[in-house]
Amino acid sequence: MAEIGKDIDFAKSLLNAGEIVGLPTETVYGLAGNALDEEAILKIYSAKNRPKFDPLIAHTDSIEKVETLVCEFPEKARQLALAFWPGPLTLLLSKSDKIPDLLTSGLSRVAIRIPDHPMTLELLSKLDFPLAAPSANPFGFVSPTKASHVQDQLGEKISYILNGGKCRVGLESTIVGFEDDEVVIHRLGGLGIEEIERVVGKVKMKLNKSSNPDAPGMLKSHYSPGVPLIIGNIREELRNVGSKKIGVISFGEVFHDAHVMEVLSPTRDIQQAAKNLFGALRVMKDENVDIILTEKFPEEGIGRAINDRLERAAAR
């Protein structure tokens, strides 16, 4: 089992020694290692059971440091970085030679972001390298939003998890690339499209739902809760599913016929719903329900990212 604690200097010493650690960000917990060290990167791929065609995000704590890792910083990328970093935004920028090909799976662009969590920002400020950090879950599973989630799934494979409490956003970062003068969204996430468009104008969507060469990790069947999941009218579905052990994940309403009930936000606050989504999917799995019923969330802001994750969880 991994040790769980708040010792930033201990995490730093492990990372300096080429080890990997679990750490908090505002979106989800990451499994971090030195992004410039191929050995450390290999440890991450191996602990996650992640195929090497699925590249990792580099994390750092200042735009000045980002500039040393990329060879171009388009104007619109800079505007977004200034507006939303630290925050749930990942930029795809053409990589400098410092970045190992293993980190980007041989792609010419590196995914990079400044996360918004005080402990991880302090840790990054004390390191002289960026951290590679995919979500700290085995490949294909739901991302962790608490230190105990990391412990449950990867505790045997790492020695330390930095405990930063429950993640504030609860969904992964929004991934944005730049083609000619266009801003392209590759993954919906914690930062809403509307907010991005307020800064750079209309964006283009490139959210391939099957296998996406631009963001290879966004396979349709990602985020598996390991249980069949139906998105629809919960009340009607409850009548249809028969005598199974039924789990319901709703936005705000309580359904008394459910055997396991998770209300994401009693006040129907979409940010709160996002924050609670992955935890609720884990509860359903832990409670061994036969089926999960859920509903479509409002298709705006972070609601789009919630719907995206639910659709992927439903595809098996």
The residue range among 3-11, 134-142, 159-167, 297-305 that interacts with Mg ion, by the rule CB under 5 A, is 134-142
Q: Which is nearer to Mg ion, 135 or 151 (CB)?
A: 135
Strands (E), the chain: 3-5, 21-23, 30-34, 57-59, 89-94, 109-113, 131-132, 160-162, 174-179, 182-187, 204-205, 229-231, 246-250, 260-263, 291-294
If one asks whether residue 144 binds ligand TXA (CB under 6 A), the answer comes out as no
Q: Is 170 in the site for ligand TXA (CB under 6 A)?
A: no
If one asks whether residue 249 binds ligand TXA (CB under 6 A), the answer comes out as: no
Segment contacting Mg ion by CB under 5 A, of 12-20, 129-137, 196-204, 289-297: 129-137
**Member of 218, 227, 277, 281 binding ligand TXA (CB under 6 A):** 218
Nearest residue (CB) to ligand TXA, 30 versus 130 = 30
From 21, 133, 196, 306, residue interacting with ligand TXA (rule: CB under 6 A): 133
Count Cβ neighbours within 10 Å for each residue of 7-41 and write b for 16 or more, e otherwise.
Answer: ebeebbebbeeebbbbbbbbbbbbbbbbbbbeebb
- Tokens 């996002």 locate to 274
Strand pairing partners for 138? none
Q: Is 28 in the site for ligand TXA (CB under 6 A)?
A: yes
Site for Mg ion contains 90 (CB under 5 A): no
Tokens 């290692």 label which residue?
Answer: 33
The answer to whether 30 contacts ligand TXA (rule: CB under 6 A) is: yes
DSSP state of 287: T
Binding-site partner at residue 153 among ligand TXA, Mg ion, none, CB < 5 to 8 Å by type: none
Q: What letters, b where the CB count within 10 A reaches 16 and e where it falls short, cover 95-117?
A: beeebbebbbeebebbbbbbbbb
> Contact between 145 and Mg ion (CB under 5 A)?
no
Measured from the CB of residue 159, what is the shortest distance to ligand TXA in angstroms? 19
Which positions from 40 to 59 touch ligand TXA by CB under 6 A, shown as an x/- string?
A: --------------xxxx--
> Which are the contacts of 262, defined by CB distance < 8 A and separation ≥ 6?
247, 248, 249, 250, 276, 280, 283, 284
The entry of Mg ion, ligand TXA, none near residue 111 (CB within 5 to 8 angstroms by kind) is ligand TXA
CB 169 within 8 A of CB 309: no
Q: Which amino acid is at 213?
A: P
Interaction of residue 104 with ligand TXA, rule CB under 6 A: yes
Total residues contacting ligand TXA (rule CB under 6 A)?
27
Applying CB under 5 A, does 135 fall inside the site for Mg ion? yes
H/E element, 282: helix 270-286
Which residue, 158 or 234, has its beta carbon nearer to Mg ion? Answer: 158
- Of 301, 78, 135, 109, the C-alpha closest to 213 is 109
Smallest gap from Cβ 259 to ligand TXA, in A, equals 31
107 makes contact, choosing from Mg ion, ligand TXA, none, with CB < 5 to 8 Å by partner type, with: ligand TXA
Shortest Cβ distance from residue 311 to Mg ion (Å)? Answer: 16
**Alpha-carbon span 270 to 276, nearest angstrom:** 10
User: CA 302, CA 191: separation in Å to the nearest integer?
Assistant: 7
| Residues in touch with Mg ion (CB under 5 A) | 135
Residues that bind ligand TXA (CB under 6 A): 25, 27-28, 30, 54-57, 90, 92, 104, 107, 109-111, 115, 133-135, 172-173, 175, 214-218
